Structure 1
Amino acid sequence: GGYALGVCDVSGTGMGSLRSDILRMGWITKLVLSYNRITTLPDDVSDMTQLTALDVSHNMISSLPSVIGSLTTIRELRLEYNTLDSLPKEMAKLVNWQYPRDPKAKHLFDISWAEGNPMSFPHPQVLQLGANHTRSFLRQVAIGEETGALEFEHRELPLFPDQLTDFHFLTSLNLSYNKIDRVPPSVTNMVQLRSFVLAGNSIDRLPARL
């Protein structure tokens, strides 16, 4: 571990929580907390307003606090090998967050920053579309919770995100002009849905009970 030029590296020190003295270091631009036993990030992490890089990989974090959305200077985020099953919708506010393209895939992005997590929201297929689409998806879900309508058209989405069928509050869903080729049978659980637009996809057939 160590401190240098705005970097605080306390990786592999065995800490189980983020120390208060570190949280008070408002000058830190890169915080490395990897290979520890951290289970959660405190809300006070929002005070670290200069952070451009945060590495919490190889810990035991099961969820991220909503205040992470206030760290708008973040460009690099490392979350791999925790126990995260979802990202908070507030991450849509991380306007500078970016991750590189997958060198092996022409149109997809490298999601190694999230690997080793049981991630289901957003689905890894959404994450592979890049930070811009991930932000947009999280933003649209937040809007959908308020309005009952979710629009995610013209986004090169390669599949119907199964987790959408858990959003029973939706009354309108627009996934037109993506690359979806199937709709899961569980879509019939979306009993409030009144408008469902799939134009411009390559779907062969819809679930029988739709």
Structure 2
Amino acid sequence: MLYVKQQATVDARSSPDRKRATEEERLELVDLSGMSLESLPNPSLNLATICKLDLSNNNLQMIPESLTARLLNMVVFDVHSNQLKSLPNSIGCLSKLKVLNVSGNLLVSLPKTIENCRSLEELNANFNKLTKLPDTIGFELINLKKLSVNSNKLIFLPNSITHITTLRILDARLNCLHSLPENLENLINLQVLNISQNFRCLSSLPYSIGLLFSLTDLDISYNEITSLPDSIVCLKRLQKLSVEGNPLISPPMDVVELGLHAVMEYLSHQMNGSSSHKNGYNNSPRKKSWIGKLVKNKTFNGHVTPNHRDHHHEEREGLVVPEYHRPIDGLASPRHLRMFSPRRLFSPKTNFTR
């Protein structure tokens, strides 16, 4: 059964508006999803009138070149959850395409002609077998806002991705990434970056990650990262940082467990050239963090009690930390940190009474 829905018209007031409305009246929404199709039936309507085609949840192994070449007004193309091993090269003819969903297939690569879909705003290629993306994909997809390529076999992301200045969401988790492109600072609108669960492959982050000034959510969990670039302290809009599952040394886990503010302060001292530490915290003679002062004054000993475990996953000040947390001894435990601001603790005018 072919489901066709006519797209709503717009209010026609002037002659150009009436012409545009007449064109939109002819555009159709075609839904062939969930019909166990192994091949596509011969279309009974003009393919140029289709603006959305849903072929998801079928058993399609290929899409004919002749089909996509005639979908000249296609805006949304959904073929997720099929058995596709490749996409037709004629997909590059879809100059008006804004949303392409090819997730849940058997794709090993994307055709280079996808670069011609310059109106594309969202590309979902999750759950495939992609080993690489077209090298120059970022030079042409100048309107892309969301790129989802999680659960593939990508070893690297092409450097051209850093040219997609419109990109807001980049999801590349569950791959085999060994590194990230160096020039990330060009992604001036990137808000969400998820490169988690590349497991034993990703061991470092480029310094330019701290120049993603629009970033609010950074997930680098479950990799082999031992140190965070101190440039991360420049991410003033960052609200959530997920680091669990990494063998972090810098900052040490004692700092990580205190939350995002403590991590940022630690990295700030790193950036300022402080290199000596005591009990895992910065102890520079030039500039001491308030955590370091707590340690020096024996208000906070930095140790954890081994006999009490909290098995609940926690988020502290936007920082996602592992499930093995243990409460910290001393007055400066995380639940009391707000009571001990640097001004209260170290101001000469502060009086403490018993």
What is the CA RMSD across the aligned residues, in angstroms? Answer: 2.9
- Alignment partners' CA distance in 1, 2:247 and 2:224: 6
Amino acid in structure 1 at the alignment position of 2:229: P
TM norm structure 2: 0.40
Q: Deviations over 1:124-144 (max 9, x none)?
A: 221222222211211112213
- Alignment partners' CA distance in 2, 1:78 and 1:182: 26
Amino acid in structure 2 at the alignment position of 1:15: L
Please state how far the C-alpha of 1:96 moved relative to its aligned partner: 1.0
Q: Deviations over 1:37-86 (max 9, x none)?
A: 11111212221111111000111211111111110111101101111001
Q: 2:210 touches 2:232 (CA, 8 Å); kept in 1?
A: yes
- Alignment partners' CA distance in 2, 1:93 and 1:129: 19
Aligned to 1:108: none
Indicate the SS of the match to 2:185.
helix
Aligned to 2:156: 17
Aligned to 2:56: none
Aligned to 1:181: 301
The 1:13/1:143 distance shift into structure 2, 3 A limit, reads same
Alignment of 1:38-77 (within 5 A): 38-59=177-198, 60-77=201-218
Amino acid in structure 1 at the alignment position of 2:221: E
Alignment of 1:184-203 (within 5 A): none
Aligned to 2:250: 121
Q: Which has the higher contact order (CA 8 A, sep 6+)?
A: 1
Task: Give aligned pairs, total.
Answer: 158
Amino acid in structure 2 at the alignment position of 1:96: R
Moved >6 Å (runs of 4+): none
Indicate the SS of the match to 1:77.
strand
Amino acid in structure 1 at the alignment position of 2:301: D
Amino acid in structure 2 at the alignment position of 1:126: V
Q: 1:160 touches 1:180 (CA, 8 Å); kept in 2?
A: no
Larger-gyration structure (1/2): 2
Gaps of 5+ in 1: 100-110, 151-158, 184-200, 203-210
Q: Calculate percent identity across the aligned residue pairs.
A: 23
Q: 1:56 touches 1:78 (CA, 8 Å); kept in 2?
A: yes
Indicate the SS of the match to 1:84.
coil
Amino acid in structure 2 at the alignment position of 1:180: F
Q: 1:149 touches 1:172 (CA, 8 Å); kept in 2?
A: no
Q: 1:97 touches 1:131 (CA, 8 Å); kept in 2?
A: no
Alignment of 1:1-210 (within 5 A): 1=103, 3=123, 6-59=145-198, 60-99=201-240, 113-145=242-274, 160-161=279-280, 170-172=284-286, 174=288, 175-177=292-294, 179-181=299-301
Q: 1:26 touches 1:47 (CA, 8 Å); kept in 2?
A: yes
Amino acid in structure 2 at the alignment position of 1:12: S
Q: 2:158 touches 2:181 (CA, 8 Å); kept in 1?
A: no
**Larger mean Cα displacement after TM superposition, 85-94 or 23-32:** 23-32
Indicate the SS of the match to 1:43.
coil
Q: Deviations over 1:13-55 (max 9, x none)?
A: 2111112443332211010000111111121222111111100
- Alignment partners' CA distance in 1, 2:302 and 2:157: 44
- Alignment partners' CA distance in 1, 2:222 and 2:182: 21
The 1:173/1:33 distance shift into structure 2, 3 A limit, reads same
Q: 2:206 touches 2:229 (CA, 8 Å); kept in 1?
A: yes
- Alignment partners' CA distance in 1, 2:279 and 2:185: 34
Indicate the SS of the match to 1:8.
strand
- Alignment partners' CA distance in 1, 2:279 and 2:276: 16
Q: 2:196 touches 2:221 (CA, 8 Å); kept in 1?
A: yes
- Alignment partners' CA distance in 2, 1:63 and 1:88: 9
Please state how far the C-alpha of 1:123 moved relative to its aligned partner: 1.2
- Alignment partners' CA distance in 1, 2:159 and 2:286: 45
